[in-house]
Chain A
């Protein structure tokens, strides 16, 4: 029983970790939290569902979905975010991502209606959580490869330069706009993985990712908003905590599980605001 719960928690946690990773990526590159990250992932999951529904095998649909999500991220950055990125002020940027959130959500409801849909699981016979866990085991090495690219190649160096200081990077001849678009695309692609991992557990509907976004906020805050390994660790911790609290704490139950991440965020911010692996911010006037 406990092992089963643990497995389920890790499976859900893998999904939260992926979305948290996407949030951290966007944060590293542009310094904002993208409230529309979950909705972009939801849109990609609908694309995957449409592909599988029209007869494409699951494992062929997955890379296509990720590619579509990547493109969607690039297009969003180039068409919408680019227009407001140079304006100072968090309100402008957050309001824009909120506007995106509302728009994408409504478009999904318009195209696919708000009916609940069952999403195919890659391993229909295995117990709940196993499929997500196996998928996570595939995703692990891929992420490791991405980390190697970021650490040891010229492209990675350019990306790190933009993340560290866009203005200096631009003065050194880096095409900052392209790198930002690449960052948004990568974040969106990783977010799509999160949507596909979680859809078999949650069922597919336009508001599917709203709760997941809260869990991912908790994961990113717990791991440190600027730390990619922290986001993954945070996601797994949040997934396990949430599942165990829902099962063993009578008061929490299934419907109040969503309060667990809120308590976690507030606790982390009060006790260790930079998170487990994040760097403490240095403030300059």
Chain B
């Protein structure tokens, strides 16, 4: 074997890229520093933001959880789902009905919503062998369109077209909205850690392999149908969890909050943030929450026009999303590929 300068023999500690053995230069731990700053900022946020902006920030975290889930199907699995708004809605209504109709304590709603949507995702993913590609997109589109009329159909349970108010969690220590923010933040951090491990697991790596080359993955012994069903179930569970968090945050659910436009917003978030990345979920959530809020100041119809054009523009100019753009910017600043 030829010796290549800088190549570290197996069994030794891997050195950062660009550093040769014996090099005493310190490498600044960008990753850890960035995460630390993010964590500090996230904790400080509720004490500096006014209530309305804090509400928006909480919703960004809620959306980020849903985007993490959708990314499992879209980014990692390469399939298109336009129905995750429906799972989000089912999660939100599960929490709302449990709290408002049965008077159950709110912490209980999270696992129930998660389990229920996991099961629904599993059931929806079972025909995944047939519902591939465009067919999956069409079926999930139909699901997203059907959910609001279905919710309106049972007014005794769901409150009908008018929706229903839900008591939000009471805070034992802080203000109520700060408390909800920290609850959501806790779940979001757990969700990020979960996806990080999930995508590094056997199933997660199989999912990427199937996306890249289905036949090769099959030859290597991976069952695409099994892995896709799992991915769809997890992904639905994330969306449902986000739905329950939404109910805690907003304190109100109505069928039209979970219409087709929510599913489209979620897909846009994944595409804009950057498919198959963790930071993409956060960036995407920030953009799909922030851009319409700013655009609404201009004109009531402006958010739609701007969001739509943004999707087309990102697909055309930055297929790897904002995360890809930031990564390229970081490379050009640092002068190296990390």
Contacts and interface: CB of A to CB of B under 8 A. Distances in A.
A3 B264 CA distance: 40
Contacts of B309: 99, 103
Interface in B289-334: 299, 301-305, 307-312, 315-316, 319
A87 interface: yes
A92 interface: yes
A265 B139 CA distance: 7
B308 A106 contact: yes
B274 to A, nearest CB: 12
B315 A92 contact: yes
A270 B127 contact: yes
Given A99-B309, A262-B139, A90 B315 contact: no
A91 interface: yes
A258 interface: yes
A277 B309 CA distance: 37
Contacts of B134: 32-33, 90, 94, 225
Interface string A92-121: 101110111111111101100000000000
Contacts of A217: 138, 141-142
A266 interface: yes
A285 B216 contact: yes
A164 interface: no
B312 A100 contact: yes
B164 interface: no
Contact of A210 (B135, B145, B150, B303): B145
B145 A96 contact: no
A73 B268 CA distance: 23
A33 B138 contact: yes
A221 B264 contact: no
A258 B304 contact: no
Nearest to A27: B134
B267 interface: yes
Chain B at the A interface: SS class: helix
B74 interface: yes
B305 A110 contact: yes
A95, A105, A225, most chain B CB atoms within 10 A: A95
Contact of B311 (A98, A221, A265): A98
A214 B312 contact: no
A196 B329 CA distance: 49
A221 B135 contact: yes
Contacts of B142: 214, 217-218, 261-262, 265
A43 to B, nearest CB: 13
Interface in A163-221: 210-211, 213-214, 217-218, 221
B139 A266 contact: yes
A103 B301 CA distance: 10
A262 B146 contact: yes
Given A92-B319, A94-B137, A99-B315, A262 B264 contact: no
A117 B300 CA distance: 20
A259 B150 contact: yes
A35 interface: yes
A256 interface: yes
5 contacts: A84-B316, A90-B137, A94-B134, A96-B311, A99-B312
A91 B146 CA distance: 23
Nearest to A109: B301
A219 B257 CA distance: 28
Give the 5 A-B residue pairs with the shortest CB-CB distance, closest first.
Answer: A106-B304, A103-B308, A285-B215, A99-B311, A102-B308
